[in-house]
Structure 1
Amino acid sequence: MTNPNPLTIQQLAEIEAIAARIADDPFFVADCEGQLAVWREKALTHVRRDEHGQIDTYSLPSSYQSTDEVIETIHLDSWDPGEDATDDQRRQDINDLVDSRAWLPALLAMVRRLQGQRKYLLTQLAKRDAETGRGDRALREFLTAHPGEDVETPAAVAEEACGKCRQPFDPADTRFDGRARYHETPYCRGCVDRCHDNEIADHRCVICA
């Protein structure tokens, strides 16, 4: 099976519309004595549910609207699963259709949650770019769902620089004489290292003053 193309924004909007329509209108597969049909749950009578909220016992309505029986009765050759391969396939297909419909809202909610998490990560990457000038292009491309997708980029963050040499801090350059900030001071590790190496006992500098 080939990988399907990612859903477009328009397709997601259409799925959301479907989910809204079916939210309070669950279907039920009635499979009894060789008769297979799909009904709207609200049309059933004498409904009892188990501890998980699933319908345990029910009765079919004596009168109903034509739209209440979503898939009209299919007459099977067997009463129970495992007796006839063709009937088993029909049962599986019908149940898959009804289950997929029931799970759609939850799957859509998961998609939206993952989209929010992805958007947050993209924003953090953009912020990192603004702060350090080094992007994580491969990760950003992996997280982007569609080529050319717009990403909310935070306003450029002013580069912080060493108070002595005025060079921008580089958090990744943690060598003893590197460009990373030295602890909580306003100076880079390189300037602090050079200051400590000064052999003049009474020297004064912007760091030691």
Structure 2
Amino acid sequence: MTTTSESLEAEFEEYLPNRLADEASMAVNAFNHNSKVRKEGWEDPGDAYDAVGSLVHMARMLPQAIEQATRPVSWTHLRGRLRMAENQDPDAALAELDVARMAAESAARHLTSALQRVQNAMVHMGAVIEDAAEPTECNRCGDAFDPADTKMHGAKRRYPASRFCCACVDGCHDNERADHRCVVCS
């Protein structure tokens, strides 16, 4: 099922943003608990690649989420209703909040880059398929593997530890995007 931004907005429109942020943190916590042990569907490099891709996608959205999470403070300040403890200056406090927010947004952008590096490091990893017949043709293009084809690029020999020919793997130029989901990479 493909989910668009508009359908997500409609589905969660009734929820307050702070509740959605709480549910997102609980989902990350659940991932942390459920990813500790190997289980069916969570045992191969492809499973890790997909999970890290989702983390990249989430990290990419964090700067916007951080900025929007602080908006109620700005709105309250603009209406002249921001109350401060111990006679602190609201303008100075808001300026400090802006500095802290920008630092958090920058850290989120660095996290996105770091996670992309993690995912890129896994892009050509796979698992040896146990107790299965060696494939004789590419799962993408259907061409028979030719072990004698020794060209550097576009070869029809089998790409190591995969179900694809070298030509199809070479043709996947979009593997640096976190949301990339082609038959070769997924």
**Normalising TM by the smaller chain, what interval?**
under 0.3
| TM-score when normalising by structure 2 | 0.25
Asked which structure has the greater RCO (Cα within 8 Å, sep 6+), the reply is: 2
Q: If each structure's helix is expressed as a fraction of its own residues, which one has the higher value? A: 2
Which structure is larger by alpha-carbon Rg, 1 or 2?
1
Q: If each structure's strand is expressed as a fraction of its own residues, which one has the higher value? A: 1
